Amino acid sequence: MSKVKLHDKYFKPYISAEKINEAVYKMAALIETDCKDETPIFIGILNGSFMFVADIIRAYNGNCEVSFVKLASYEGTGSTGKIKQLVGLNEDLEGRTVIILEDIIDTGNTLEEIYEIFRYQKLKQLKIATLFFKPDVFRKGLPIDYIGISIPDKFIVGYGLDYDGLGRNLADIYQLTTQKMTNIVLFGPPGAGKGTQAEVLKEKYNLVHISTGDVFRFNIKNETDLGKLAKSYMDKGDLVPDEVTINMLKAEVEKNTDANGFIFDGFPRTESQAKALDAFLEEKGESINGMVALEVAEDLLVARLLKRGETSGRSDDQDESKIRNRFNEYETKTAILKHYYEDQNKYYGVDGVGSVEEITKRLSAVFDRL
């Protein structure tokens, strides 16, 4: 599950299809127990309940009938408080048990209208089943017999629920959020020029550049708790655990709560780190917009690094075997992230050959889209 955009608003993952299915089957079992000696008629409230009705009917093992009534109470993302009966019932319901199937009950205005509609139908009994219920805003002293999932007062879409017509077809439930940030993973092999480009792009797009190397050096130099912990692993020649690295990144993000977004440079390096980053951003109602990767042939980069080694003083830039080994590490461990982001349709490859200005122009074209 990843964030979705409907019209002008963003929605973050909230309730999975699996959890919805579990709630539906529990409700169907309860209703079946209560109606074991009769044939109830299920009445779905359109439009939002159509998926719920279909699934609960499939989950119900006894004999039953089904019909629909259409009411309207929502415009945009707020309840108008005005209920209109748009489509009435034609069935003779006298002496029948009626199970109303609602997608969601919040203030209770729609529920009140439902009770009014069926008041004079001479029913045997009327029962209410709602998949989602918002107890914090429910204002009516009316009974609800079956509740699938109680949720806070947040606007949701998916599984039949919509935002101005869109989102009903989503299998999962998504919650309204605000897309405040543009978050980019800048990616590429050693010597591709990520650092140079990040400095240019952060100024152009007013983003915060977070370099894993800079973050490590800062924490170690300033002897922060995380820096000391990281150094303890490094001194033993061990890899710094993902948990330590992601906590350093979290701290950097938290320092910049008013940022327009971030360029992550040198992180994530593994799929587990990418998943940890996704989980952290999801908690904040954010996500990675895309991985933008500089693509350069290995032989060209080897030559570039050897030339840099003439002036950089870095021993690993002066030994071709060491450079090749770094590329091997990159290809076997880090490059797998390309597939991780490709699977989310978030991978953007950019030709990394040319002048700094030419490459910046290509990268900017992608940033503009994101």
The single residue of 231, 308, 322, 338 carrying the catalytic annotation is: 308
Residue 140 is a catalytic residue: no
The single residue of 3, 9, 194, 346 carrying the catalytic annotation is: 194
List the structure tokens of 345: 């349709």
The single residue of 217, 314, 333, 361 carrying the catalytic annotation is: 314
| Buried-exposed string 290-312: b where 16+ CB fall within 10 A, e elsewhere | bbbbbebebeebbebbeeebeee
Q: For 106, list phi and psi in degrees, rounded to 5.
A: -120, -90
The single residue of 322, 326, 338, 362 carrying the catalytic annotation is: 326
For the chain, give percent helix, strand, coil, nearest 5: 40, 25, 35
Alpha carbon separation from 13 to 16, 297, 315, 322, 349 (Å, rounded): 8, 38, 47, 44, 27
What is the DSSP code (8-state) at residue 316? G
Please answer whether residues 61 and 102 qualify as being in contact, where contact means their C-beta atoms are separated by less than 8 angstroms.
Answer: no
Residue 269 is a catalytic residue: yes
The single residue of 12, 202, 269, 304 carrying the catalytic annotation is: 269
Handedness of CA 46, 49, 51, 53 (dihedral sign): negative
Measured CA to CA, the distance from residue 110 to residue 136 in angstroms comes to 16
Residue 217 is a catalytic residue: no
Residue 194 is a catalytic residue: yes
Residue 139 is a catalytic residue: no
Which residues are catalytically annotated?
194, 269, 308, 314, 326
